Amino acid sequence: MRESFEDFLNADARAASCLAIYVDELLRVGFKGSSETEINDELQKSIIPVFRYLNDKDVFEAFYKQHLAKRLLGGKSVSDEAERAMVSQLKAECGYQFTSKLEGMFNDMRISRDTRAAYKSHKKAQPTTSSRDIKKTKPVDIEVDVLTAGYWPSQNVPPCSLPSVIQDAIDTFSTFYLQKHTGRKLSWQTYTGSAEIRATFGTAPNYRRHDLCVSTYQMCILSLFNDQPKLTLGQIRSETSIPDVELRRHLISLCTPRHRILRKGSKGKEISSDDDDFTFNAEFKSKLKRVRIPLVSLKDASVAQKGSGEGGTKNGDGAGGVAGLGGGDTGGALPGPVEEDRRHLVEAGIVRIMKARKMLHHNDLIAEVTRQLSVRFVPTPQFVKKRIESLIEREYLERAPDDRRVYKYIA
C-alpha cells in the first residue's frame, strides 16, 4: 500500500508544487482562528504524511519559499506561530539544512523590524525642517525590509527609475544603514514592494481624494502624470525603465473598468504599439477612501500582448516571485533554479564521497549519491552519470586504467 501510494503521488510531476500551493492557502486563511495545537495536529495529519512520500522535496522547497516570501513581505500570514510550526515540521522531517534558508528569512524579518524602528528614531532626532521647505518638497515615509540575498528568492531585474522624492528617501535610508553596517551593499529590488499614494480626482471645487494602494511600478507610472496630462507607452518606458512585459501588465491594471485610473487612447484590451497614449482619468469614482489596485495576472497580460501581434520575454512577477518557477502549474517540467541546484548538489556529493573513499565502482558511487541525496530528491542514474562525466572533464575524477567503471579521486 505504501509503495503504491508513493508511485501514484510521484507519477505527476506537479505534486510538489500543488502541495506547496495548498500549504500557502492554509497559512494565509485556512488556519485563521486555530490554536497552536490545532495547527500542529492539522500539519501532522494532512501535510507531512503527503510531503513524506514526495520524491521531489527540493521542488516543494522552491515553491514553498516563493510563497513564504510573498506572505512575509506582504503581511499575509495567518500568524507567525503557524509559519514557524510548518518550518519546525519540515526541519524534523528533513533536517536543519533543508530549513536553514527558511529560518534565515524569519530572522531577516525580525532584524528588519528592529531596523525600521531605529530609523524612525533617527529621523525624529534630526533637526526639524522649516515649514517653507516642507511645502516645497514633502518628505515621504519608506519602510524597508533588508533581506539577505542568499536566503530569499530573487530575479535578476534591473531597478527602475524612481521619482526623485522616493530616491531622496532611499538615499537617506542608505546613508543611515551603511553607517551602522560598514562593508555591506544594498541592492534595491524595485520590482517588489508597494506604495500608498494620495490622488486627487474631480474638478474644483468638488475634489475627491483617494489613497491608492499600488505596486512600486504603478507608483512610478502614476507619478509621471503629475507633470504631463498625456503620455505614450514609449515615453513611459523611457522615463521609468520598467521591463516591457511588466510595464504593459501594470498599465493594463490601471486601465481596467473597475479601477480606471488611466484612460487608454486605443480601443480594446491590448496595448498595440509604443504610440498608444494614456491620460489621467480625473472622473474616477469609488465609494472607498482607500482603493487597492490589483494587478492583472501575467497570463492575462500576455494574452493582451499577443493580441497586439507583439512578442516579449517574461520578466517575472511584479509582485515579487521566483525567477523560473512561474505559477503553480509548471506543466511537469523541472523549474530552472531547481535543476541548477540539483547539478551542484550531485557534484558536491560525488566529490565528498570520492574524497573519503578515494576509489569507487560506478554502481557503488551512484547508489551512495542517491542514498545521501534522497532526503531532498531522488536523482536518476543518468543524471548522476552526466555529473560524473562533467567532473572527469574538469579533472576532479579519473577512470582507473584497468577498469573504466572504477573512478579515482584526483587530489
* Per-residue confidence (pLDDT) for residue 117, from 0 to 100: 93
**What global pTM score does this model have?**
0.76
Least confident of 23-27, 51-55, 82-86: 51-55
pLDDT higher than threshold 60 for residue 317:
no
Least confident of 42-51, 217-226, 346-355: 42-51
pLDDT higher than threshold 60 for residue 312:
no
Least confident of 41-50, 100-109, 350-359: 41-50
Instruction: Give every strand in the sheet of 194-201, ordered side by side.
Output: 194-201, 208-215, 290-292
Q: How distant is the alpha carbon of residue 308 from its chain centre?
A: 28
Q: What is the mean pLDDT of the chain?
A: 84
Per-residue pLDDT tens digits for 14-28: 888 899 999 999 998
Give the residue among 95, 109, 9, 93 at the shortest CA–CA distance from 43.
93
Tell me the average pLDDT across 241-248: 90
Q: How distant is the alpha carbon of residue 392 from its chain centre?
A: 36
